[in-house]
A and B are shown apart, each in its own frame.
Chain A
Amino acid sequence: MGTTKAKQTAKAEVRKPSKAADDIPIVTRLALFRSQVEARYCEKRAYDLFLQNLVKGTSHLALGQEAVSAGVAMALEKDDYTYPTFRGHHHVLARGASMTSVLGELMGRQCGCLSGKGGSMHLSSVEHGVMASCAILGASLPIAVGTAWSSQYRGTSQVTVAFFGDGTANIGAFHEALNMAAVWKLPVIFVCENNLYGEYTVTTKVTAVEHPAADRASGYGLERIIIDGNDADVVYRTMQVAVAKARAGAGPSMIECMTYRQSGHSRADPAHYRPPGELDEWKKKDPVVIYRKRLLDLGVKEAVLKQIEDETMQEVNRATEEAKASPVPPVELAFKDVWSNGGIQWRN
């Protein structure tokens, strides 16, 4: 695949960053900024806690992808549903789940959102509309179809969002979900975070099309939407259109957000496979940095942004201490909640 073609595609189709003149209210913009800063600081803290061996198991950071979660969540109502991915700390935080519940879960403490029973890859919080978080790639897309079907059947205006990565667009469940959602005109939005890598492999190397999600959209009668996923305003604006369409009963949308995973696949991956200079190029487009600059350009005072950053850092510190102080769950918890009566009995 020639770079000329790729550049043409980008020029022709990738939606431009939002102009400063865009009429997004400043209060919304500050909330978008805060959401990104929260995800950024929390992810960095999660990494620090790995190094201290306080986070067990594996964990997958979304450093660099914070604009997607912020923009998506901002376009939703409280009772809408979102399905995070295994790389989903930011998805969960953006819906309003506390840092204590996220960091606590990574650390396997009782204060975690799953009391340590799920771990990093299964963060869920039903009270925040954060649904089953599957660590089997692609699995959540058909499940999201199910909640959208349920909303349609019950006659509510709820919208479901399923996050997924570029690698997932090569999995069968992706295609089954897209087709069923389109045929049933369901209020579901499939949000692809194209961070260029499926685990350790460049996605374009193992994918028949350049844009793993958007280039398949026409196969399901959907619009081909590719946006700058590092621009929270663009994500938010694009989501607003998709949400309105879904609430109007006009069916699903799929949005491919071009972004970049600034860390390796997991804690075990130093990402040596990246070409030299690539990370630096993307850091110039760092979503938190560009958004901060935009707000300053719009006349927001430095002190206001600094205050958001300071408050967020205090919150991360507070959540860290709270999680460290939280006990590990009692062993009895392992023997609960297989069944809805709370028990694990399989015999009489």
Chain B
Amino acid sequence: MAELSYREAVVAAIAQEMRRDERVVFLGEDVAAAGGCFKATVGLLEEFGPKRVIDTPISEQAILGAAMGASSTGLRPIAEIMFSDFLAVCWDYIANEISKTRYMTNGQFSFPLVIRTANGAGSRFGAQHSQSLENWAMMIPGIKVVAPSCPADVKGLLAAAIRDPDPVVFFEHKSLYSIKGEVPDGEYIDELGKAKVLRNGKDITIIALAAMVPRALQAAELLQTAGISATVVDLRSLVPLDMQTIIRETVKTGRVFTVEENPRLCGWGAEISSLIMEECFFDLDQPVVRITTPHIPLPATDGLEDAVIPSVDRIVAEIRRSVDFRPRI
């Protein structure tokens, strides 16, 4: 085990896969010579050269189109879209082309590619560089959606995404790039579609994703001091969705909270909540409660941004308000 930052884990995963498979190529804006806008791809150009690590023009449609065409003819491209907000200008490739062509052509084509993108708030970049858009991708049949919360998961899940035969949108959270954590040495690969139970509790279950995971864990510690024992589930992947873990952890406590960075309407938690209602209704002791960013564009300045993204304090407060807490009998 070595201690790596989240951004170093990105490099580690890409390098691991590029070393073992010559078909893996990497393209994006400022990803090569500059080492990435978030310095998450430093050193790749030096190790693998300009044929495999490629600076592109500022042309998001061309980036995703090129990745799609290359992936259908023998390569395994990793395409970076610098900020997830920029996915809006090349959404055709996710919503209409990459996701649907396999189905439309009766399985004639496969598109083994990864779209990496920096997602989420916390950097005071304003409404067009801070959004959490994993729920957009979740709505599209034919796209896998992954969002890791720690360096080990970045390495293992990104490696798994690169090896996956289907297209994956890999949401890296920009406020997590500097966090550090233990990461397995050597070749390390995880499995897509498996949630992780990070903390076991008796009273409630908190389901979180990406940057909301460390906040959920901190909230759980504070709730413990108030006598509420919380399980914390890191979903890690929205598609495939690990319903077995969700159901198991729902049934154990009967009180489920989702913590979502996306704005309220149609956030991923809405789907989870719906599934829980359908499949675990009689195991619930109270309605599923969604803790989300309000349904607003994100403000830029720190005081306002912090006020709207679910904070540790808000998670604690909303859970305490919701739970008419009595120990379960």
Nearest first, the 8 closest Cβ-Cβ pairs linking A and B are: A146-B69, A142-B65, A176-B62, A176-B59, A146-B66, A337-B107, A340-B165, A143-B69
Tell me whether B256 is interfacial, beta carbon within 8 Å: no
Q: A176, B96: Cβ atoms under 8 Å?
A: no
Chain B, range 290-313, C-beta contacts under 8 Å to A:
none
For A172, the closest partner residue in chain B by CB is B61
Q: Give the Cβ gap from B94 to chain A, nearest Cβ, in Å.
A: 11
Tell me whether A259 is interfacial, beta carbon within 8 Å: no
In the bound assembly, the distance between CA atoms of A337 and B193 in angstroms comes to 18
Q: Which residues of A have CB within 8 Å of B63? A: 142
Q: B239, A346: Cβ atoms under 8 Å?
A: yes
Tell me whether B25 is interfacial, beta carbon within 8 Å: yes
Q: Which residues of A have CB within 8 Å of B69? A: 131-132, 142-150, 160
Q: Which segment of A29-37, A112-120, A274-282, A309-317 sits at the interface?
A: A112-120
Q: Give the Cβ gap from B313 to chain A, nearest Cβ, in Å.
A: 33
Complex interface bits, A153-187 against B, C-beta within 8 A gives 1, otherwise 0: 11000001000000000001100110110010000
Q: Give the Cβ gap from B156 to chain A, nearest Cβ, in Å.
A: 18
Give 6 new A-B contacts, CB below 8 A, not counting A153-B51, A172-B61, A179-B59: A117-B106, A118-B104, A132-B97, A132-B105, A143-B72, A346-B239
Tell me whether A265 is interfacial, beta carbon within 8 Å: no
Known A-B contacts A143-B97, A146-B71, A180-B56; the reply to A117 vs B109 at CB < 8 A is no
Tell me whether A348 is interfacial, beta carbon within 8 Å: yes
Q: Which residues of B have CB within 8 Å of A342? A: 107
Chain B, range 71-101, C-beta contacts under 8 Å to A:
71-75, 77, 92-93, 96-97, 101
Q: A340, B110: Cβ atoms under 8 Å?
A: yes
In the bound assembly, the distance between CA atoms of A160 and B70 in angstroms comes to 12
Q: Give the Cβ gap from B147 to chain A, nearest Cβ, in Å.
A: 16
Q: Which residues of B have CB within 8 Å of A118? A: 104-106
Q: A145, B107: Cβ atoms under 8 Å?
A: no
Q: Which residues of B have CB within 8 Å of A148? A: 69
Tell me whether B202 is interfacial, beta carbon within 8 Å: no
In the bound assembly, the distance between CA atoms of A122 and B109 in angstroms comes to 13
For A119, the closest partner residue in chain B by CB is B104
Q: Give the Cβ gap from B17 to chain A, nearest Cβ, in Å.
A: 16
Chain B, range 226-246, C-beta contacts under 8 Å to A:
239-244
Q: Could you say which of B57, B71, B101, B110 contacts A176, with CB atoms under 8 Å apart?
A: B57
**Which of A141, A154, A348: most chain B CB closer than 10 A?**
A348
Q: Give the Cβ gap from A289 to chain B, nearest Cβ, in Å.
A: 35
**Which of B51, B62, B243: most chain A CB closer than 10 A?**
B62
Q: Give the Cβ gap from A336 to chain B, nearest Cβ, in Å.
A: 7
In the bound assembly, the distance between CA atoms of A176 and B107 in angstroms comes to 28
Known A-B contacts A124-B109, A131-B72; the reply to A145 vs B240 at CB < 8 A is no
Chain B residue total in the interface (Cβ 8 A): 48
In the bound assembly, the distance between CA atoms of A185 and B207 in angstroms comes to 48
Q: A142, B72: Cβ atoms under 8 Å?
A: no
For A121, the closest partner residue in chain B by CB is B104
Q: Which residues of A have CB within 8 Å of B210? A: none
For B107, the closest partner residue in chain A by CB is A337
Q: Which residues of A have CB within 8 Å of B241? A: 346-348
Known A-B contacts A117-B105, A337-B102, A338-B102; the reply to A345 vs B65 at CB < 8 A is no
In the bound assembly, the distance between CA atoms of A177 and B63 in angstroms comes to 9
Q: A142, B66: Cβ atoms under 8 Å?
A: yes
Chain A, range 312-348, C-beta contacts under 8 Å to B:
333, 336-342, 344-348
Q: A179, B62: Cβ atoms under 8 Å?
A: yes
For A118, the closest partner residue in chain B by CB is B104
Q: Give the Cβ gap from B229 to chain A, nearest Cβ, in Å.
A: 27
Tell me whether A136 is interfacial, beta carbon within 8 Å: yes
Tell me whether B225 is interfacial, beta carbon within 8 Å: no
Tell me whether A49 is interfacial, beta carbon within 8 Å: no
Q: Could you say which of A115, A132, A172 contacts B101, with CB atoms under 8 Å apart?
A: A132
11 A-B Cβ contacts within 8 A?
A136-B97, A145-B65, A147-B72, A149-B75, A153-B75, A176-B59, A176-B61, A337-B103, A340-B102, A340-B107, A346-B141
Tell me whether A151 is interfacial, beta carbon within 8 Å: yes
Q: Which residues of A have CB within 8 Å of B57? A: 176, 179-180, 183
Q: Which residues of B have CB within 8 Å of A150? A: 69-70, 73-75
Tell me whether A67 is interfacial, beta carbon within 8 Å: no
Tell me whether B212 is interfacial, beta carbon within 8 Å: no
In the bound assembly, the distance between CA atoms of A176 and B60 in angstroms comes to 8
Q: Which residues of B have CB within 8 Å of A124? A: 101, 104-105, 108-109
Q: Which residues of B have CB within 8 Å of A337? A: 102-103, 106-107
Tell me whether B28 is interfacial, beta carbon within 8 Å: no
Q: Give the Cβ gap from B241 to chain A, nearest Cβ, in Å.
A: 4
Tell me whether B67 is interfacial, beta carbon within 8 Å: yes
Tell me whether B166 is interfacial, beta carbon within 8 Å: yes
Tell me whether B64 is interfacial, beta carbon within 8 Å: yes
